[in-house]
Chain A
Amino acid sequence: MAESILEIKDLKIQFQNGKHIVQPIREVSFQIKAGQTVGIVGESGSGKSVTSLAVMGLLPDRISSIPSGEILFDGKELTKLKEKEWRKIRGNEISMIFQEPMTSLNPVFTIGQQLSEPLKRHRQLSNKEQKAAIIKVLKQVGIPRPEQIIHEYPHQLSGGMRQRVMISMALLCEPKLMIADEPTTALDVTIQAQILSLLKKITSKKDRSLMLITHDLGVVAEMCDWVVVMYAGEIVESAEVNELFDRPLHPYTRGLIQSLPSNNERKSKLYAIQGQVPKPEQVKQGCIFANRCPLAMEKCFQESPPAFQEDGHLSKCWLQSSDEGVVR
């Protein structure tokens, strides 16, 4: 087995909201092996973005805390790091591609200025070397005439080009792990196809790992080796990608796959999961999905199911509990 580059163990994250404490992440554990692309799927409010912010150390200091759990990156424990130590890792060993290329680039600096920032912080290069490195990485992501683009501002570029710049910035310091948070959601389909094939090309090289956060199962089917399905702050299922699409175990995953229009007959009623994702403060005892689950049993409303595991395929659902099937 390849070594895992990132390992998250029983992670809990709390937010202080006035006097209330809400816990959007409850006991999340998964790992990413070197060279793997792992997809984190979930709807809004499932906690997928919060998890990624925790890995980057970008959770807001004052209102959030990690009461328990570990994030091991390359054997290093990240949750207790100080800001100064974080800065050595961020953008250097772990980098992030954000959803909105319009808002995550600074409008008052040129592309070249913005791209030189991570190099200035993490590498000691002369100006000439810096420029060469930037142009090389821009070429790598397929930006035409990079020598001119570095003198242009973000508003002069189209959405797809901006996302390419974002990706090149994440690539600059050759990180071991890249996190992409909905990298194509804001883009048109034909541009999405361009960006996905670019990401595929990048991750196929060396042992670069990618954590891909998305709500789009199609993107997952296309990109990922392993899939983690999140729902309301918990991991409900995790499996190898073919296994997940062939044999989804958790009713939520099944619902998600069935509700894709392409899996329904034309003009027929689409399969729909009733109701909506509970807010973190609404979570009560029992299984978090029980109130929307078509197969819910009495037990589901009383006791939260443990993670049942079979050949690495993990599912947090009482349906998997036959006495011999219970691992853990």
Chain B
Amino acid sequence: MAEDYLVKVQNLKKYYEVSKGMFKQKTIIRAVDDVSFSIKRGETYALVGESGCGKSTTGKTILGLTDATAGEIYFQGKDITKISYSDMRKLRKDFQMIFQDPYASLNPKKTVREILMEPLRIHKKFEGKEREKKIHEILEIVGLSKSHLHRYPHEFSGGQRQRIGIARAVILQPDFIIADEPVSALDVSVQSQVINLMLDLQKEFGLTYLFISHDLSVIEHMTDRVAVMYLGKIVEVAETEELFENPKHPYTQALISAVPVAHPREERKRIILKGDVPSPANPPKGCPFHTRCPFAMDICSEKAPEEVFFTDGHKATCHLYTNSKEEIKDVIRNS
């Protein structure tokens, strides 16, 4: 491998079977459908998409919180979908998760000390006094203090709880952290505090993030590369700056244009998509996006598009680019 990939996901699939009744056929929901991407050491990789696009399921499957239906997940070169439960447990200390809802993800019956002690105890890291010291250190780093040690989660505000959740994830000094919408439940002024904390931690410990979010302005600010998901598939991958300057896939263009303006005098040409995301139980044939796509052609409803590569690892899955490229530019310009 030419580049140092920490995590490599290949053809990952996660299907859920939903029972419709005793004698009826089960429907299969393709939550994640043939997704491949790789994350370099030290980078922040973003998964963007609307609710139901499979971004959280992808995160959970990588961590092994749900089993993959098919596909491989390489972590430091090892395929973690095939290893035994006990090996997986040992590996878990190297990848951790920060959850979305700071109210639901902390055990209300445990004090901060107990919450932070648990990972150390389970993975048998350090001994007695050393553990206490470690907990103090980590609290300091995330901006809390010793005086908070014996309090319960309900005594904290949302921002502080998210700090505890982050402390719990970092205390084992993992290499890789999956952050599933870590700031979307927080107020604006607190949100920026938590983003700053995550950026600081990344510098200090050399962390690699998989950042799952629907908030494009946060993604533009803090990530290196972005994968855009729609109905369980990745439709576009690019470096963050490239993606925001030069989005190729019509869905990405619509997403970016839908972000509210930052100043009332700012004028933005907006692509307003019609309708809702189709149900993943019954995705449209061909390109999954063709039902809402403003540029849909005949071929889109028949054949699923292939990946088209542009410069610097920028790729998109769209029929607009599979044929001769000049033609397409006209389509976009004229519309």
Contact = CB atoms under 8 A, between A and B. Distances in A.
Interface of A: 43-44, 158-161, 188-194, 196-197, 215-222, 224, 241-242, 245, 255-256, 259-264, 266-267, 269-274, 276-277
B276 A261 contact: no
B258 A193 contact: yes
B217 A266 contact: no
B221 A267 contact: yes
Given A267-B222, A276-B157, A262 B217 contact: yes
A107 to B, nearest CB: 19
Contacts, number: 120
Nearest to B193: A272
Nearest to A227: B264
B222 A190 contact: no
Given A192-B258, A259-B189, 8 more contacts: A188-B214, A189-B50, A189-B259, A215-B187, A245-B265, A261-B218, A267-B222, A276-B157
Shortest beta-carbon contacts, A-B, top 4: A218-B260, A261-B221, A188-B50, A193-B258
Contacts of A266: 220-221, 240-241
Contacts of A260: 188, 217, 262
A191 B292 CA distance: 12
User: From DSSP, what is the main secondary structure of chain B's interface residues?
Assistant: helix
B261 A43 contact: no
B295 to A, nearest CB: 15
Contacts of B35: none
B196 interface: yes
Contacts of A245: 263-265
Contact of A189 (B188, B191, B195, B216): B216
B261 A218 contact: yes
Given A259-B189, A270-B221, A222 B261 contact: yes
B192 interface: yes
Q: Which of A44, A255, A272, A277 has the most B CB atoms < 10 Å from its CB?
A: A272
Contacts of B9: none
B44 to A, nearest CB: 9
Contacts of A263: 262
A215 B188 CA distance: 8
B254 interface: yes
B260 A219 contact: yes
Nearest to A265: B221
A266 B264 CA distance: 22
A44 B157 CA distance: 11
Q: Which of B188, B193, B218, B258 has the most A CB atoms < 10 Å from its CB?
A: B188
B221 A255 contact: no
A262 B188 CA distance: 13
Contact of B261 (A191, A221, A261, A270): A221
Given A272-B193, A272-B196, A221 B263 contact: yes
A255 B191 CA distance: 12
Nearest to A224: B264
B209 to A, nearest CB: 13
A267 to B, nearest CB: 7
B144 interface: no
A261 B258 contact: no
> Interface residues of B toward A: which range?
35 or more
User: From DSSP, what is the main secondary structure of chain A's interface residues?
Assistant: helix
Interface string B232-273: 000000001100000000000011011111111110001011
B190 interface: yes
Contacts of B70: none
Interface in B160-205: 160, 187-193, 195-196, 199
A272 B192 contact: yes
Interface in B118-150: none
B51 interface: yes
B188 A221 contact: no
B221 A161 contact: no
A182 B157 CA distance: 21
B260 A273 contact: no
B229 to A, nearest CB: 12
B264 A191 contact: no
B221 A190 contact: no
Contacts of B264: 220-222, 224, 241-242, 245
Contacts of A158: 276-277
Contact of A44 (B187, B220, B261, B270): B187
Contacts of A217: 188, 262
Nearest to B184: A185
Contacts of B214: 188-189
A190 B190 contact: no
B31 to A, nearest CB: 17
B159 interface: yes
Nearest to B187: A43
A34 to B, nearest CB: 21
Interface string B208-230: 00000010111011100000000
Interface in B36-51: 50-51
Nearest to B159: A276
B276 A161 contact: yes
A221 B217 CA distance: 15
A217 B261 CA distance: 9
